[in-house]
Amino acid sequence: MLEGLLSMGAGALYDSLVRGGPIAVDDPRAESADMAELFEKGFVRRDYRGDPTIAPVEPVRAVDHAILAAQQQVLDQQRAIVAARHQLDALQAAYRMANSSGDTADIEVVTDPQRIGQISFELCLSAREEFVTFSTRHFRKAPSVQTVMTLPAVVAERGVVLRNVCERAVLEFESSRAMVEGNLKAGWQMRAVPELPMKMVIADRHSALVPLDPTGMEGALLVRTPTIIAALRMLFELVWSQAVPVGAQETGSRNGLTPTQAKVLDLLATGMTDGAIARHMQISERTVRRYVSGLLEALQADNRVAAVYAATRLGWLN
């Protein structure tokens, strides 16, 4: 009864008072924790007309009062959140001073691999709108379902958009299909390109993590400079617009192609070999070659490069 406004015991006690009427002040229930809750929240009152009793407050007034109190509590919590956000800049500045090694406030050099991984996760937690990444062939662990970045529930509940562009080489490992499926299940949108200049992580438009060298093994830069972040976002959007979707996103039929033909064409456009396409799609190389041959014929192309060019010109590629 009245879940969310009263505990189960207090709700049951109030219900019995409403249905059965007042009770004497010396009733054993008068000293219970449930009765104390009812007094605190304005659901009962003492009545000294005649013999002293404890009487229920009329439901329409008691519940309305409780709802107003709950709304006030929500308002107070919202004010506390706003105040915390106002204090965030000062706290962040203090954190940078305590954890930096003499770098400027907006660019921090990080060389500890464990710390780099921690920052990447922290950036994911801080994202309010979008979290985007580049994945290259340089990694410490081969791509697999265990390397998928699974979001905490609080990030997923915020509706943060997740986008990843990976190099073709990332998809050529035997475990890449499980990795792609794991990413898609975790909510990621994925695309592939033949080559990327570097790894990269960007949270909204406030922070980015980029490597000091192409492999990312020498360390990374944590960047908070707005102009640099804007430039990195432009780079990501440019690459994203030219990248090819991978995974379940690409199964829709287009221009008369079957879903499998469309998928082979998309992977072909990344420069993947027949063997890599076969492993990714879990079909034989012979089947892949048959699909490629059919695509070349349909596009009236003599080779793969000409086929990709023709498919792009005709709008056959996503």
Provide the H-helix boundaries in 101-258.
113-126, 153-157, 176-185, 226-242
SS3 189: strand
Assessment of whether the complete model's pTM goes beyond 0.75? no
How high is the pLDDT of residue 141? 60
Task: Indicate the Cα dihedral angle 231, 272, 311, 283, nearest 10°.
Answer: -130
Handedness of CA 204, 205, 209, 211 (dihedral sign): positive
Helix axes 259-269, 274-281, angle to 10 degrees: 130
H/E element, 48: none
pLDDT tens, position by position, for the chain (318 residues)? 677 788 999 999 999 999 999 999 999 999 999 999 999 888 999 988 888 999 999 988 888 888 888 788 878 887 777 777 667 656 766 666 566 554 445 888 988 888 888 888 888 888 888 899 998 887 666 555 555 566 666 666 677 888 899 888 888 777 777 778 887 887 888 888 888 988 999 998 889 999 988 777 788 999 998 899 999 999 999 998 888 887 655 444 456 677 888 888 888 888 888 888 888 888 889 999 988 988 888 888 888 888 888 887 777 776
Alpha-carbon gap, residue 131 to 160, rounded angstroms: 7
How high is the pLDDT of residue 314? 75
Alpha-carbon gap, residue 294 to 187, rounded angstroms: 33
Alpha-carbon gap, residue 45 to 93, rounded angstroms: 52
Alpha-carbon gap, residue 267 to 180, rounded angstroms: 13
How high is the pLDDT of residue 165? 92
Q: Which residue has the tokens 């990444």?
A: 133
How high is the pLDDT of residue 129? 84
Token couple for 55: 């009487």
Token couple for 188: 């990621």
How high is the pLDDT of residue 251? 44
Alpha-carbon gap, residue 165 to 201, rounded angstroms: 11
Alpha-carbon gap, residue 212 to 110, rounded angstroms: 9
Choose among 38, 82, 75, 79: nearest CA to 59: 38
**DSSP per-residue codes, 143-184:** --GGG--PPPHHHHHTT-EEEEEEEGGGGGSTTHHHHHHHHH
Q: How far is CA 211 from the centre of its chain?
A: 23
Alpha-carbon gap, residue 224 to 95, rounded angstroms: 14
